[in-house]
Structure 1
Amino acid sequence: MKKRAFLNLVSFSMAGFFILTTYRAGAGNEPPKKKYNVLFIAVDDLNTDLGCYGNTFVKTPHIDRLAKRGVKFDRAYTQFPLCSPSRSSLLTGQRPDVTGIYELQTHFRRNLPDIVTLPQLFKNNQYYSARVGKIYHYGVPGQIGTDGLDDPISWDHRINPKGRDKAEESLIKNLTPDRGLGSALAWRATEGTDDEQTDGMVANEAIKLLEQKKDEAFFLAVGFYRPHSPYVAPKKYFDMYPVETVPLAREIENDFDDIPDAALFTKPANWGLSRADRQEALRAYYATISFMDAQVGKLLDAVDRLKLADHTIIVLWSDHGYNVGQHGQWMKQSLFENSARVPLLIAAPGGVKGKTSGRTVELLDIYPTLAELCQLSPPQALQGKSLTPLLKKPDAKWDKPAYTQVRRNQFFGRSVRTERYRYTLWDEGKAGEELYDHDKDPDEFHNLAKSTEHASIRNELLALLKKGYPALSQGQ
């Protein structure tokens, strides 16, 4: 079905939503006296190597502080582990097979010209809608300071900072010199202050907008560039991680014996880097996480200083996860857990605080969640599910799996994640399949897809995968 026809045929129904007139304590059946604001924090290429997610080595005190203000989703997943497909899906509320975005060049409006995006929904409902930094896709570092593949009609105001990290690109050390800086293990520990870096500028510009618009209803999207490669941050953040102490991913002998070749993005494993080079790269990745975390802290401080917390929803998400040596893989574009799983934190006024939800959720669920919390009605059907029940009761009954896909040249890998299992099919099975039991094998070392003992589980998950991806049932 053509995408325009899809939009014309579907209509949004609030039947599946509970209007949150009682979400705020004491509100009864009265509408909120003041509209909820939204502070929408996007982080580029961030995995769950965070303190609040159990990584005690990486220092992220401010994201950890945000986790204490709301709900941390422990099993949240991207729809496509690549920047533009993921962001296009989240911001339109449609899966990649509907947006038709599987790479980094095509704008989603070529396929969905009339769709109303998440920020556009707020803009259309008399919210001030602004973007600082990267929300829709553009290349890092090449397009820093530009609009890239932005969507102008989503915003009232757009700001594209460009800092010292961009100006000093020639000084960056590239451990994989045959790869461009945006997809390389490359880093630089800079002199100077946070405020001279692009992400420091992003935080400062966002704070200015918070100060200017604190008395208006706003949807403020703040897009940080780090820890996306090249890993650039002030030297003090590198000093937090002595290179010889950096722990590398666990490895086992004969790990690749039961992994389909299609599952591997990084070839050869670890791009042939030595242990010392890998520690150097991972140290830099972690340093940029701590640098970005400090910028998040500035935003949280501003929210509190301006007394916005009691009517501002704060969402922090990453567009996908990030491999840091698991199975010899680096970065994204794989369907292993580290690439598909993302951090997702939501702090909403009236919601529970400091709780963790173990339910399987998707980035696709953010659009309907914010629409419901703010009592807005999108004009098209959304393919995600509102997370508001989990914001009130993180262990509420929930039977929704999470789906992630990736493209390998002319075929797809498609994966379904339940709370216990991950099942992945490559090229409809012609290029292999994978089944992992996360209760017993959280590192995904033992592929059970051909195990007779797990045949019934495999068949159940295959049926679930086909339910999530109708193209599989149609042989596409």
Structure 2
Amino acid sequence: MASGLLLGGGGIATAADEKMNVLLIVSDDLTNNALGCYGSRLGRTPHIDRLASRGVRFDRAYCQFPLCNPSRASFMTGLRPDHTRVHDNAVHFRKNIPDVQTLPQTFRKAGYFVARVGKIYHYGVPGQIGTDGLDDPPSWEKVINPRGRDKDDEDNNLIFTLNPKLKGSARYGGILSWHASDGSDEEQTDGKIATEIIRLLEANKDRPFFLACGFFRPHTPYVAPKKYFTLFPPDKFTLPVIPPDLRMVHPAPAFASAQKIQDAMTDAQRREALQAYFAATTFMDAQAGRVLEALERLQLHKKTIVVFLSDHGYHLGEHGLWQKMSLFENSARVPLIIYDPRAKGNGQACPRTVELTDLHATLADLAGLPAPKTDGRSLRPLLDNPAAAWDRPALTQVTRGTKDQQFFGYSIRTERYRYTEWDRGQRGMQLLDYEKDPAESKNFAKDPAYADILRQMQQLLRQQQEASR
């Protein structure tokens, strides 16, 4: 298990200093609420927590689209979804922006060894595990696509699913499904991903590298070895309390990500789903720990920037919702931890509102590399002073309706407020005040006392939308 990263001193170096490596660790469908470092009471994530205690933990980080493909296309280019024009899980971003320079390409052009193991760009989970998925070949010098015991369990119909009527992998990927597996960590796909990343670290320790480690868990199906399930007895979970009038408080599109089959779960099934999700998260954390331990064993922690994030947030029954594709906090907010051994702000939490589009600009800046213009801003000032002034809100969007009658929801988040418009406001507006109502049970959009705040947030939203076109 990882024994912890050691820290260097001083401020963030300039481009003239030794080249810094990058290790990018991406989890799939991970909520902040399952991580100990973000205050989870039940979450057991000691390795991610340790990384957070040694780097900068961003408490208000947001994805730009709470769905795998649009989000990953966005943060891997640094461009918002309205620039990539990727709003679903089918379109490859290069169809719309063929000449864009991605984050790994920025490092590849600078002479780094650049490789990917697992899911970085979009994969259909679990159907495309072991394949290239919707990968981007120009981004990488080397790619590895492990396939583990979880796929064998799937092939042998060992995974419980709420919708067994669907065929093949479709019965597991879009609906709550879970399985406590036999065997060891190393037999699972995420275990194999950790093993391959460690091999790449060992083989490339003497030259600059950009390695992307893409774990599949805790994406449904929530599969992990049995030992992780025993850590989370179902009766220890308290189910979210949902106000009976909640769906009258917020516009109907706010709840359009709900699925009837998940609405119909019994309380016992809900607790089993929570057990499985937390088990899969702790399993993923253990694989991240193996990678971080290798980084330290190889003495690479002193010259490697480590980033941990999820592609978007996740609902675990809050507001009666499960999974993603909402514009409530649990879906839009993501865990984001950045460890640079030179940063003065290490060991602190940053309260500023940041976006995943900031990642490309940030890593290029920290490595002293030229980078294309993106929609993001370097977070370097916040790594040296997490409380530094910062005037950028976060913009997140989703689609609603059918392909022929599609409309958007856009949501702007500041440190205190969230304002959301559905179909330019024609299908509803939401104004949330997290200081007075962190549970998002009230909508202040029509409250006269909030008229000035409403106008300010509307103006912020318009400014960000204009910048995104």
Give TM-score, length-normalised by structure 2: 0.93
Are residues 300 and 30 of structure 1, via their aligned partners in 2, closer, same or farther at CA, if it must alter by over 3 Å? closer
2:456 partner letter: E
1:227 aligns with 218
**In the aligned structure 2, how far is the partner of 1:372 from the partner of 1:301?**
26
- Indicate the residue corresponding to 1:456 in structure 2: 452
Report SS of the residue matched to 2:32: coil
Contact 2:12–2:342, Cα closer than 8 Å, also in 1: no
- Mapped to 1, the partners of 2:82 and 2:459 lie a distance apart of 18
Q: Deviations over 1:106-163 (max 9, x none)?
A: 1100011001100011011100000000000010000000001100111110000000
Equivalents in 2 of 1:269, 1:455: separation in Å? 39
Q: Is 2:149 the counterpart of 1:156?
A: no
Structure 2: which amino acid aligns with 1:229?
T
Structure 1 residue 68 displacement after superposition:
1.2
Which residue, 90, 101, 112 being the options, matches 1:105?
90
Preserved CA contact (<8 Å) 2:351 2:386:
yes
Indicate the residue corresponding to 1:258 in structure 2: 249
Q: Which of the residues 67, 75, 82 maps onto 2:60?
A: 75
Counterparts of 2:447 and 2:427 in 1: how far apart (Å)? 17
Residue 200 of structure 1 aligns to a residue whose secondary structure is: helix
What is aligned with 2:177?
186
Distance 1:341 1:419 in 2: 12
Secondary structure of 1:394's aligned partner: coil
Q: Confirm or deny: 8 A CA contact 2:13 2:366 kept in the other structure.
A: no
Partners of 2:463 and 2:99 in 1: how far apart?
Answer: 27
- Which residue of 2 is the match for residue 203 of structure 1? 194
Runs of 4+ in 1 over 6 A off after TM superposition: 26-30
SS of equivalent residue, structure 2 residue 295? helix
2:30 matches 1:46: yes
After superposition, the Cα gap between the structure-2 partners of 1:27 and 1:331, relative to the gap in structure 1 and judged at 3 Å, is closer
> What is the CA distance between 1:27 and its match in structure 2?
8.8
User: Does the C-alpha gap of structure 1 residues 459 and 304 become closer, same or farther in structure 2, counting only changes over 3 Å?
Assistant: same
Counterpart-to-counterpart distance in 1, 2:362 and 2:332: 21
Listed as ranges, the matches of 1:386-401 within 5 Å are: 386-401=378-393
Aligned: 1:172 with 2:168: no
Query: Residue 313 of structure 1 aligns with which residue?
Result: 305
Counterpart residue number, 2:356: 363
Distance 1:283 1:28, change over 3 A: closer
Alignment-derived partner of residue 18 in structure 1 = none
CA change 1:129–1:468 in 2 (3 A) is same
- SS of structure 2 residue aligned to 1:166: helix
* Alignment CA distance shift 1:30-1:266 (3 Å): closer
Distance of 2:368 and 2:115 partners within structure 1? 20
- CA deviation vs aligned residue, 1:139-195 (integer Å, no higher than 9, x gap): 000000000110011111000000000111111001244563111110000010000
Aligned 8 A contact 2:11 2:342 in 1: no
Indicate the residue corresponding to 2:407 in structure 1: 411
Alignment correspondent of 1:19? none
The offset of 1:26, in angstroms, is: 8.1
Q: Spell out, residue by residue over 1:75-104, the C-alpha distance to the aligned partner (whole angstroms, 9 max, x if none).
A: 000000000000000011110000000001
Q: Could you tell me which amino acid in structure 2 is paired with residue 86 of structure 1?
A: S
Evaluate the alpha carbon distance shift between residue 27 and residue 66 of structure 1 in structure 2; reply closer, same or farther with a 3 A threshold: closer
CA change 1:445–1:126 in 2 (3 A) is same
Q: 1:223, 1:249 → 2: CA distance? A: 30
Return the offset for 1:271.
2.0
Report the TM-score when normalising by structure 1: 0.92
Identity %: 53
Q: Tell me whether 1:427 sits opposite 2:423 in the alignment.
A: yes
> Which segments of 5 or more consecutive residues in structure 1 lack a partner in the other structure?
1-22
Question: Do structure 1's residue 470 and structure 2's residue 454 form an aligned pair?
Answer: no
* CA RMSD, 1 decimal: 1.7
2:3 equivalent in structure 1: none
CA 1:30–1:158: 2 relative to 1, 3 Å: closer
Distance across 2 between alignment mates of 1:451 and 1:62: 44
Give 2:19's aligned residue.
35
For residue 49 of structure 2, the aligned residue among 61, 64, 70 is 64
Query: What amino acid is the match of 1:197?
Result: Q
Q: Which runs of 5+ in 2 are unaligned?
A: 1-7
* 1:437 paired residue number: 433
